[in-house]
Structure 1
Amino acid sequence: MSATILVVDDVDTAREAIADSLRKDGKEVLEAGTLKEARGFLELNKADICILDILLPDGNGLSLLDEVIHMAFQPKFIVITAHGQIDYAVEAMKKGALDFITKPIDMKTLKKSISRAEDLVAMRRELDHLRHSQALSAKFVVGQHPRMQALINLAQRAAEASVSVLITGESGTGKEVMATFILQSGPRSDKPFIAINCAAIANTLLESELFGHEANAFTGASNKRKNGLMEVADGGILFLDEISSMPLDMQAKLLRAIEERAFRRVGGTTLIRVDVQIIAASNRDLKEMIKNGEFREDLYYRLKVVDLDIPPLRKRKEDIPELVGLLLNQSNMSMGTNIKDVTPRALEAMMDYDWPGNIRELRNALERAIIFCDDPAIDIQHLPSEIIERSSI
């Protein structure tokens, strides 16, 4: 859907010239000669972009910028100024105008500014669409990037088939969220989802955590039987994060448990059978680890019945507006805040940034912005310094 442009100018010939030129380009254009007429269009949410003259018969055009702050829908303003009105232009930019253009109007310059406004309107629509169409409790964002669409399709198929899945990608790309999505998408949605970070558990305790142990099975073990996480996950999903940190001897035991769908507790003799879908994740290159003798090749291929390699955020920046919308809603819910929007220039700055920490860094940046934001919308000054410094704004 193209953006609707409202041209506000009390000089009929000037207003009509702009409107006619834009209509020839296929734009949908509305016209207003007074503040009252313009206000009527804006109150009905009919304009996405407003080309606004400052001196109008019934008042100063900049008053519209103050009024739209209280509206749910806020158009992008391009202010028209005459020579000698530069102070007005500066004031307009402080009030949130996207751009200002001096008279006489150069249509090439104006259309370039309109094009930028249209891009921002498109991003805003994506964000609004997310808010209205996606449940706030959803933990996974269906990205629009073709690679993400393909991954979602593969994840859904893996969920239905209940096969082992290997999720790879840089830190912060959302590997555990993808694993949760697989749970939600398949027949195990009402079953346990048990996650274990292999890097966070000492090697000597990892076997006990996974398979459990009998009473007093080893020095330091409790005098009561302990069920392992694989047993707890029976019927559901066991998510093994940072699988690359698992020692080789433990890899061999895990492989056998996956193939046999059974295991014995540490110190036990009884074979315990389970129905568990295994999902493993790694931010390291497992093929390179195999070459270096650090990871078992047979376990690698047993895990990657379906292989999901999540791209970093810098390679799918078109998904950022959607992610911002979802994460903003989630942060508001968890933090008890009510920041409803992100300004166009803040969103542009986030689009310019490469996000080395990926979605995790984006979430942290939004949470920080919420803490420092006393306004209805997050603006560029609320963002972390590294994002501001790399911005082209």
Structure 2
Amino acid sequence: MGMTVLIIDDEDNARENIGLFLTAKGYAVIGAATLAEGRASLQRGDADVVLLDVQLPDGYGPNLLYETAAMPLRPPIILITAYGDIDMAVDAMKNGAHDFLTKPIQLNQLEKSIERAGEVVALRRELAHLRKSQQQKNQFIVGKSPIMHEVLTQAQKAAEKSVSVLITGDTGSGKEVLAKFIHANGPRAGKPFIAINCAAIQNTMLEAELFGFEAGAFTGAEKRKTGLMEVADGGVLFLDEIASMPVDIQAKLLRALEERAFRRVGGTAMIKIDVQIVAASNRPLATLIKEGQFREDLFYRLKVVDLHVPPLRERKIDIPELVGFFIRQYNGRQGCNVTNISPRALAALTAYDWPGNIRELSNAIERAMLFCDGETIELADLPSEVSKTAASD
């Protein structure tokens, strides 16, 4: 996980020695010789973790704990003192200090303390992203079609080996659900699953979303922002509609994947990462390569395993099982008690070609359950474009 440690200490040798040790461990390090410098750095959002000396030329270090008490997501603060004042240590811990170390600092203890602080930082990053995206965990419904069983077998192998995966298929066919299946069934299951829709973000902002940026990197960048690739460290990064990614950002993504490291926009420190990339496209990348809109080297880097999810019209045998899944799902969400679907309604669902694929089927069942008066979904409860496919009496 890429983390920046802010060392607030007026002793140049202490900052340099600790900085060299932490840099060798893969951390980015910034220094401050005064309380004022450290305070300014915190306000800019530069730091993930703070090492804070107690005695500083312009004030008492622990005062920073009180000043930042109301700060949303205050970085973990580790106090360093030469005095070993137990009362002060207890007071500091009560006021939110993450840990307390005495000089001379034992580097192995420092490393352990920062690793524990890193766990807090990683948890916060993931929770912040989940709050924003409100992602829902859906199981992958295979159904009875042989083609989907083959897709699932390959997906399982890709999950176990933690390799890059390229998923192709029409819009709404379940590419993200398959990506979540890969995440849930591999060694990264306990780590983040971060999804980014490349088509939904302006090209000018996509690089910043992926890699993050440092304060002052561009106009309006007042505080440092953690990129989604960094948030996904140790887990899975799902790049949906990757065909929409500009060619210059494709080059930067390829470099990051090959080097397992990247720089934030406006930054100089290399951030080491370990992510499994699952990319998805509803457009033929081979055609885009010929047109010069997609890099061939990135294409082959992504498609270590190539999975194609067929449209629902080619796997209609799976519709009954999908309908059952959605009824159970929406019963829980809506507080309904729908337990059945009439033969005519199911026949209409099977006859319809579903241009919007599984997403459209899900929406149709959700709507039907809202209009359903009893325990059984009837033909009249379905959307008109679906119900009119039923054979007339």
TM-score range with shorter-chain normalisation? 0.5 to 0.7
Amino acid at match of 1:230: M
Amino acid at match of 1:385: S
Q: What does residue 179 of structure 1 align with?
A: 179
SS in 1 for 2:288: helix
Q: Structure 1 CA distance, aligned partners of 2:375 and 2:337?
A: 8
Q: What does residue 357 of structure 1 align with?
A: 356
Amino acid at match of 1:218: F
Deviation at 1:336, TM superposition (A): 2.0
Are 1:211 and 2:211 counterparts? yes
Within 5 A, what are the aligned runs for 1:3-152?
Answer: 139-152=139-152
Q: Structure 2 CA distance, aligned partners of 1:332 and 1:243?
A: 34
Q: What does residue 160 of structure 2 align with?
A: 160
Q: What does residue 74 of structure 1 align with?
A: none
Q: Structure 2 CA distance, aligned partners of 1:227 and 1:388?
A: 48
Q: What does residue 196 of structure 2 align with?
A: 196
Q: Structure 2 CA distance, aligned partners of 1:234 and 1:351?
A: 42
Q: Structure 1 CA distance, aligned partners of 2:138 and 2:238?
A: 19
Are 1:289 and 2:282 counterparts? no
Q: What does residue 316 of structure 2 align with?
A: 317
Deviation at 1:343, TM superposition (A): 1.0
Q: Structure 2 CA distance, aligned partners of 1:299 and 1:177?
A: 23
Determine if contact 2:138/2:177 at 8 Å carries over to the other structure: no
Describe the superposition over 1:329-348 as per-residue Cα deviations: whole angstroms up to 9, x where unpaired.
11111222121111111111
Determine if contact 1:166/1:305 at 8 Å carries over to the other structure: yes
Task: Using structure 1 for the length normalisation, give the TM-score.
Answer: 0.64
Deviation at 1:291, TM superposition (A): 1.0
Within 5 A, what are the aligned runs for 1:214-225?
Answer: 214-221=214-221, 223-225=222-224
Deviation at 1:149, TM superposition (A): 0.4
SS in 1 for 2:319: helix
Q: Structure 2 CA distance, aligned partners of 1:143 and 1:287?
A: 29
Q: What does residue 261 of structure 2 align with?
A: 262
Describe the superposition over 1:211-245 as per-residue Cα deviations: whole angstroms up to 9, x where unpaired.
01111111121x22111100000000000011011
Q: Structure 2 CA distance, aligned partners of 1:335 and 1:183?
A: 28
Q: Structure 2 CA distance, aligned partners of 1:185 and 1:139?
A: 11
Supply the RMSD in Å over aligned alpha carbons: 1.3
Task: Using structure 2 for the length normalisation, give the TM-score.
Answer: 0.64
Determine if contact 2:344/2:390 at 8 Å carries over to the other structure: no
SS in 2 for 1:194: strand
Q: Structure 2 CA distance, aligned partners of 1:138 and 1:203?
A: 29
Q: What does residue 238 of structure 2 align with?
A: 239
Q: Structure 1 CA distance, aligned partners of 2:281 and 2:138?
A: 23
Are 1:345 and 2:344 counterparts? yes
* Greater displacement, 330-339 / 287-296: 330-339
Amino acid at match of 1:337: C
Determine if contact 1:214/1:267 at 8 Å carries over to the other structure: yes
Percent same amino acid at aligned positions? 65
Amino acid at match of 2:258: E
Q: Structure 1 CA distance, aligned partners of 2:138 and 2:235?
A: 19
Describe the superposition over 1:293-323 as per-residue Cα deviations: whole angstroms up to 9, x where unpaired.
1111111111110011000001011100100
Q: Structure 2 CA distance, aligned partners of 1:175 and 1:305?
A: 16
Determine if contact 1:373/1:382 at 8 Å carries over to the other structure: yes
Higher-Rg member (1/2): 1
Describe the superposition over 1:150-197 as per-residue Cα deviations: whole angstroms up to 9, x where unpaired.
000000000011100001100000000000000111111111000001
Q: Structure 2 CA distance, aligned partners of 1:336 and 1:242?
A: 34
Q: Structure 1 CA distance, aligned partners of 2:277 and 2:345?
A: 40
Determine if contact 1:352/1:392 at 8 Å carries over to the other structure: no
SS in 1 for 2:139: coil
Q: What does residue 129 of structure 1 align with?
A: none
Determine if contact 2:212/2:228 at 8 Å carries over to the other structure: yes
Amino acid at match of 2:311: P
Q: Structure 2 CA distance, aligned partners of 1:316 and 1:292?
A: 32
Amino acid at match of 1:208: A
Q: Structure 2 CA distance, aligned partners of 1:163 and 1:392?
A: 47
Amino acid at match of 1:286: L
Describe the superposition over 1:114-162 as per-residue Cα deviations: whole angstroms up to 9, x where unpaired.
xxxxxxxxxxxxxxxxxxxxxxx75210222111000000000000111
Determine if contact 2:240/2:281 at 8 Å carries over to the other structure: yes
Q: What does residue 375 of structure 1 align with?
A: 374
SS in 2 for 1:230: helix
Determine if contact 1:169/1:283 at 8 Å carries over to the other structure: yes
SS in 2 for 1:256: helix
Determine if contact 2:214/2:223 at 8 Å carries over to the other structure: yes
Amino acid at match of 2:199: A
Describe the superposition over 1:72-118 as per-residue Cα deviations: whole angstroms up to 9, x where unpaired.
xxxxxxxxxxxxxxxxxxxxxxxxxxxxxxxxxxxxxxxxxxxxxxx
Amino acid at match of 1:252: A
Q: What does residue 84 of structure 1 align with?
A: none
SS in 1 for 2:317: helix
Amino acid at match of 2:180: T
Q: Structure 1 CA distance, aligned partners of 2:281 and 2:291?
A: 16
Q: Which runs of 4+ in 1 moved over 3 A?
A: none
Determine if contact 2:188/2:235 at 8 Å carries over to the other structure: yes
Determine if contact 1:172/1:360 at 8 Å carries over to the other structure: yes
